[in-house]
Amino acid sequence: MPDPRSDRFVRSHLKTRHLVLLVELGRHGSIMHAAQAANLTQPAASKLLGELEHALGVQLFERLPRGVAPTWYGQVLIRRAGAALAEMDAAHQEVMELLSGLRGRVDVGTVLTPSTSLVPEAVNLLKSRHARVHVSISVDTSKILVQRLRAGELDLVVGRILDTGAAAELYFEPVTDEPHSLIVRAGHPLAGRTDLTLDELARQGWILPPNGSILRDRLTALFLARGLEPPAETVETLALPVIAHLLTGSDMVVALPLELAQPYLQTGLLTVLPFDLNIRMDMYGIITRRHHQLSPGAESMLATMREVAALRYPPSQAI
């Protein structure tokens, strides 16, 4: 049963301007800049913020010498305000789509591996059926993508749920996992060696994903578990063209799924080192928000993604 106090707050105190201001305060950390972004005067923004804090009986932002910072309560309101505004944007988009046929915008987030295979194949199939649907694709780490999904900035994500606290808000449809291999340039000094040791590999230059990614954490744990210092010479990037150029022009090493490296392996530019890292990533899948009605365009994107995933990764292989 809904809490009557919450119902009174939403119906009697909350206005769209409050939601917009909360989102802009979260983005800018400044009442002045948030007011400008929300088309408000600074006194009006301060008044709206005061109204919210008075209605809730909690402090939403700490006033700092230079700007403001959200309290724990403020972080909750910012996230929920973003999701509420995204819902209204989606409602407007859905009405427009129903008036003019299937069109509109779909925002998809994806981790690196499916960005080169599953996602573009699904987009091509969607566009063959609904050419007027505009698709935006963001490639990033699962953590950042899921944060954006929860805030309503993305319609669906192909990635992993790393924050168990957020799992209740999300729906996860598993696709497949990612065994990783060590990839180097053709002619690399270590290529063809069958007696490689982790100690030798630790002394190589490495291309790594950013801190906080699952692969980075597992590679670090692998070296530390063997009493080794993680590689000192590193480059951080998720951009596959950059990775390929770095590899072909140096003796650096990278851990990648073979699916990502296959085009370069087939042309003979890169090769696989005969060393088993014994690292398998957690299964990635299609992530959507529970209790959220997707727009017709986004619903079609989701259906297409499921269709392509079922063809690429039959259930017997998706383990």
Share of the chain above pLDDT 70, in %: 92
Residue with tokens 């053709």: 186
Helix (H, G, I), strand (E, B) or coil at 212: coil
CA 124 to chain centre: 21
| Cβ atoms of residues 230 and 202 within 8 Å | yes
pLDDT digits (tens, 9 = 90+) for 275-293: 988 877 788 999 999 988 8
Can you tell me the distance from the alpha carbon of 270 to that of 244, in angstroms, rounded to the nearest whole number?
A: 8
Sheet containing 234-236: order of strands: 234-236, 206-208, 253-257, 180-185, 270-272
For the chain, the average pLDDT equals 87
Tokens of 299: 């619903």
Buried b (16+ CB within 10 A) or exposed e, 251-289: ebbbbbbebbbeebbeeeebbebebebebebeebbbbbb
pLDDT over 50 at 319, yes or no: no
Average pLDDT over residues 61-70: 90
Which class for 317: exposed (0-12), middle (13-18), buried (19 or more C-beta within 10 A)? exposed
Can you tell me the distance from the alpha carbon of 221 to that of 226, in angstroms, rounded to the nearest whole number?
A: 9
Can you tell me the distance from the alpha carbon of 243 to that of 113, in angstroms, rounded to the nearest whole number?
A: 13
pLDDT digits (tens, 9 = 90+) for 239-283: 889 999 999 999 999 999 888 888 899 999 999 999 988 877 788
Can you tell me the distance from the alpha carbon of 258 to that of 254, in angstroms, rounded to the nearest whole number?
A: 11
**pLDDT score, position 208:** 94
Per-residue confidence at 177, pLDDT binned at 50, 70, 90? confident
Can you tell me the distance from the alpha carbon of 261 to that of 266, in angstroms, rounded to the nearest whole number?
A: 9
| Cβ atoms of residues 304 and 125 within 8 Å | yes
**pLDDT score, position 295:** 84
Per-residue confidence at 162, pLDDT binned at 50, 70, 90? confident
Which sign, positive or negative, has the C-alpha torsion 57, 62, 68, 71? negative
Say which DSSP state 165 is in: G
Q: How many CB atoms lie within 10 A of CB 78?
A: 21
Helix (H, G, I), strand (E, B) or coil at 39: coil
Can you tell me the distance from the alpha carbon of 161 to that of 142, in angstroms, rounded to the nearest whole number?
A: 7
